[in-house]
Amino acid sequence: MPLDPRMPELKFALEAVREAARAAQLVRNRLDVKGIEKRDLSPVTVADYACQALVARRLHQAFPEAALVGEEDARDLRGEGGGETLSQVTQFVREFEAAATPGKVCDWIDCGNGEPVDRFWCLDPIDGTKGYLRGEQYVVALALIESGKVTLGVLACPNLREDCTLGKEASGALVAAVAAEGAWRAPLRGGDDFTQIGVSSCAEMTRARMLRSVEADHTNVGQLGQLSELLGLESDPVCLDSQAKYAVLSAGGGELLVRLLSASRPDYKEKIWDQAAGSIVLEEAGGRISDLEGRALDFTQGRTLAFNRGVCASNGVLHEKALEAISQLS
């Protein structure tokens, strides 16, 4: 049965991420995009704030009592020195929401400060900020989590082709999944012409393609090379940032995605917004995702995957072989 975009939660999610993706592209086209520094030293842009404000506003219009857990907050915008950035954010939000004022924009952004409860939405307004700054791959990622399970996920991927492949003249892909209803793609620019997607059937490890991040902040590049040798991979890695990797993997554009722990951050715990939407898309496409020990991702522990270590994602067929090789890493 085709995906039904009229389902209220799905309809909201599709419309919200499409609008946020348009806002992100508008910012990129009009500004000389430069990152500013958050307290954790990762870059954040006008687009991150504008996208979170818009999604939060639309969520509370559609579902006034809904809880939202988002990556951003408005502390820096409200603080000394944040006025210029806040003015820019408000300008772009006003393109889509005429009622926007600096105060309202900050309040909408801070709606994402909600706590994970039994049922809540999870948002990464710009997943892959550094990819966004480079003009490469990034996504708007939104998921619904109920009783610790991701039940709906949507990825807006402006710089992928409609069929979730990499290449020039990309018009954007919208990827969506609902529990037990499969994974689907549609044109990002509009319309509900959804096509079901599925993972690669490749069962030969030597032919497997590993999807790797361009950025190395949260992984161990040296161990990834060692893992490739242990697995006997002969194909060059496919490098791209953000949960766009899950869209590509789910549509058959690769077989493996492994997020090892960086030697500089051995205790790092994955944030839920970095994995939630992509995880359900992959599983509904027929793939498998776990931590590095093979445990299911546990979304019951607040804002991080506190009980998990790293991530291993695959087309399913090659998962156990990948886990076995991971266990041999030194």
Per annotation, catalytic residue among 45, 76, 124, 129? 129
Q: Is 118 a catalytic residue?
A: no
Residue 5 has a CB neighbour count (10 Å cut-off) of: 16
Count the residues in the chain: 330
With a CB cutoff of 8 Å and minimum separation 6, the contacts of 215 are: 130, 131, 241
- For residue 8, the surrounding DSSP H or E stretch is helix 8-30
Residue 48 bears catalytic tag: yes
Q: How far apart are CA 34 and CA 304, in angstroms?
A: 27
Q: What's the rounded Cα separation, in Å, for the pair 276 and 150?
A: 6
- Whole-number Å distance between alpha carbons of 72 and 50: 10
Q: Name the catalytic one among 48, 110, 127, 291.
A: 48
Q: How far apart are CA 113 and CA 109, in angstroms?
A: 8
Q: Rounded to 5, what percent of the chain is helix, strand, coil? A: 35, 20, 45
Pairing relationship of beta strands 119-127 and 68-70 according to DSSP bridges: parallel
| Alpha-carbon span 12 to 5, nearest angstrom | 9
- Alpha-carbon dihedral sign for residues 110, 268, 47, 17: negative
Q: Which residues are catalytic?
A: 48, 129
